[in-house]
Amino acid sequence: MALLQISEPSQSSKPNQRKLAVGIDLGTTNSLIAIVRSGQADTLPDINGNHLLPSIVRFRKHTYPQVGHSAKNHIIDDAANTVVSVKRLMGRGVQDVKSLSNSLPYAFEQGNQGMLMLKTIAGQKSPVQVAAEILRTLVEHGETSLGGKLEGAVITVPAYFNDAQRQATKDAAKLAGVSVLRLLNEPTAAAVAYGLEHKQNATVAVFDLGGGTFDISVLKMEKGVFEVLATDGDSALGGDDFDYAIATWICGNLGLEAELNLPQQRYLLCQARMAKEALCKTESIVIPLDQWPSSNATVALPQDQILLSLEQMNELLDPIIDRTISVCKQTLKSAEVTITNLDQVILVGGSTRTLRVRQQVSAFFQCQPLTSIDPDRIVAIGAARQADVLVGNKNHDELLLLDVLPLSLGLETMGGLVERIIERNSPIPAAQAQEFTTYQDGQTAMMIHVLQGERELVQNCRSLARFELQGIPPMVAGSAKIRVTFQVDADGLLNVSARELSSNIVSEIQVQPSYGLTEDQMATMLQDAWGYAETDQISRGLHEQKVKAERLIIALEKALEADGERLLTQDQLVKLRKGLQTLANLSAGQDHEALAKGVDQLTKASDEFAALRMDESIRQALAGQPINVI
């Protein structure tokens, strides 16, 4: 498939005036805004010199919410109304967060169409609204610092964010009044920040472990061009899980078996996070617990402090880190790259500051990763560089970023089969078309069912959207030609259109995925694709044979009804009808070989009847026509 280049916006009418465009890293724990000035990209500090804005929003009654540091001061005393780690909730439904309910102790409610809502003193708030408050604060800070209106922003997302999560991010930006130039995958932004586009024939792995998300990408670089060879990850894995593991250890050692209330959960998670950060610089830490929230609580602490060593913490974190290493192995395999082929490994995300993470990553990749740029700020810096190009501030660095799809896209065909249109790890933006046809005589409409995943059957993939193509001219089954086109833009968002070629009737849909995707589905899709590959091929073969059998049965029954009595003897009729019944029985079973043999036998048995019908049609066509003799 040809790679589609991202077109550069037109140049400013005032060539000496630079347009203001920023890069935004909307993070799980902290968020940042960055801009290019005098050829250098850097993050913008607030009035107190803080580059990091805590991704925390506190809702209040009859007034504006607090965002950032002011909200962080209330995560314990007003836990129910103070939302942290909202990125882990983006694009999810109520059922999806059950696996995260321990590390994200909120009061959840269900909104319209299953959308996840958080119960606050200011009413129900969706994760999109919470994220919008963070983005609005960043943009206001940027415009104040730069003294002008922003033309747009490049917002980064984890490479493994699915359609629903990407759409939720764009919705939050729209709600905040931010013009999104592009959603940029975080690993690609990191590579841009290091200026690796200047390297010739370099292959780089980007290990990105943030507060709530993890992804690994393998990029190939030539001058000015980034091509993502493969990407994988888990959008529900990160530093929050480290905190929860430590907090669980504290509970176990203190004998806290009773259910903790929300302030107590938040308190333990905060103390766990501080201990984790402290153990980057020391061998052990005494975790103070003297501020234990005890109001309206039945749970008391047996002691007001506890000792945690670096060795003990490493034992707690290893199972979580091992999950990231397993994903790295699979991604290298998908990219067809070995560890020895890698020129560099980049560490991204605040959780890579943890010593154990650096040790395990260095051991697996057999090299010392790049860490010279602050792992918390690197993504925003790369996004700012890309924003500067996209807004029209042309310089000698022209970047072409070729990201990839994390999962295949396709549609449902007869028999519950999936026909993949754009394969996983295809470069985006991308467009691909394929022609389909009708199944029944006189069919005037077609249901287009769009799917995402790697399995062969519809039931094992994720449904993205359904729409109908109506007004198809009635024809014999198989005569109509319907061209279905999939178009994925640079943000990884999908448009699907269907066109009947003879009548030029068109129907299309911009896929707006529901917010009800379960993370378990996303996390296991690729594992299932490998683990069930052989089973899926057998199932697909059986379903394909069932479709063939059904088509043969329908066609033969119609032919017998129309011409059987006139063209066949009674013995021939009985034989074919018996064959029909036998094939119908086989089609109801699960024996692939027997069904294939049955289709073949009935096809051969009906060949003579088909020939008789063809001869009859020719005689009727020639009846009364003069014969020219040469």
Render pLDDT for 374-388 as a digit per residue (tens, 0 to 9). 889 999 999 998 898
Distance CA 533, CA 420 (A): 15
Question: Could you tell me the strand order of the sheet in which 56-58 lies?
Answer: 66-67, 56-58, 82-84
Residue 135 and residue 118 share a domain: yes
Residue 430 and residue 570 share a domain: no
Helix axes 239-254, 262-278, angle to 10 degrees: 110
Q: Which residues pair with 110 in a beta bridge?
A: 116
- What is the pLDDT at residue 538? 67
In Å, the largest CA–CA distance within the chain is: 113
Residue 550 and residue 440 share a domain: no
Sign of the CA dihedral 370, 371, 372, 377?
Answer: positive
For the chain, the helix, strand and coil percentages under 3-state DSSP, each to the nearest 5: 40, 25, 35
Query: Does residue 525 surpass a pLDDT of 50?
Result: no
Residue 488 and residue 585 share a domain: no
- What is the pLDDT at residue 568? 81
The residue among 401, 429, 447 that closes a domain is 401
In a domain, 476, yes or no: yes
Report residue 232 as tokens. 């994988």
617 Cα distance to chain centroid: 55
Report residue 456 as tokens. 């062969």
Identify the weakest region by mean pLDDT among 77-81, 86-90, 381-385, 431-435: 431-435
- Give the total number of structural domains in the chain: 3
Residue 540 and residue 474 share a domain: no
* C-beta neighbour count of 125 within 10 angstroms: 22
Query: Does residue 366 surpass a pLDDT of 80?
Result: yes
Residue 334 and residue 461 share a domain: no
Residue 433 and residue 548 share a domain: no
Distance CA 583, CA 564 (A): 19
Query: In this predicted model, which residue has the larger pLDDT, 592 or 117?
Result: 117
The residue among 498, 522, 546 that closes a domain is 522
DSSP state of 427: E
Distance CA 435, CA 456 (A): 19
- Is 510 within 8 Å of 527 (Cβ atoms)? no
Residue 544 and residue 498 share a domain: no
- Residues with active-site annotation: 25, 87, 186, 208
Report residue 552 as tokens. 């043969």
pLDDT in tens, 236-284: 788 889 999 999 999 888 888 667 788 888 889 999 999 999 998 889 9
The residue among 373, 401, 429 that closes a domain is 401
In a domain, 326, yes or no: yes
Report residue 156 as tokens. 């980064």
- Is 459 within 8 Å of 536 (Cβ atoms)? no
In a domain, 313, yes or no: no
- Is 351 within 8 Å of 344 (Cβ atoms)? no
Range of the domain at 392: 22-238+318-401
Residue 326 binned pLDDT confidence (cut-offs 50, 70, 90): very high
Distance CA 286, CA 622 (A): 100
- Is 515 within 8 Å of 168 (Cβ atoms)? yes
Q: Residue range 203-224: average pLDDT?
A: 85
Residue 432 and residue 388 share a domain: no
Residue 449 and residue 381 share a domain: no
Q: Residue range 20-32: average pLDDT?
A: 92
Identify the weakest region by mean pLDDT among 54-68, 74-88, 322-336, 418-432: 418-432
For 394, counting Cβ atoms within 10 Å of its Cβ (0-12 exposed, 13-18 middle, 19+ buried), the class is middle
Q: Residue range 61-69: average pLDDT?
A: 90
In a domain, 351, yes or no: yes
Residue 571 and residue 431 share a domain: no
pLDDT in tens, 142-161: 888 888 888 899 999 987 78
Residue 301 binned pLDDT confidence (cut-offs 50, 70, 90): confident
Identify the weakest region by mean pLDDT among 449-453, 543-547, 626-630: 626-630
Percent of the chain having pLDDT more than 90? 22
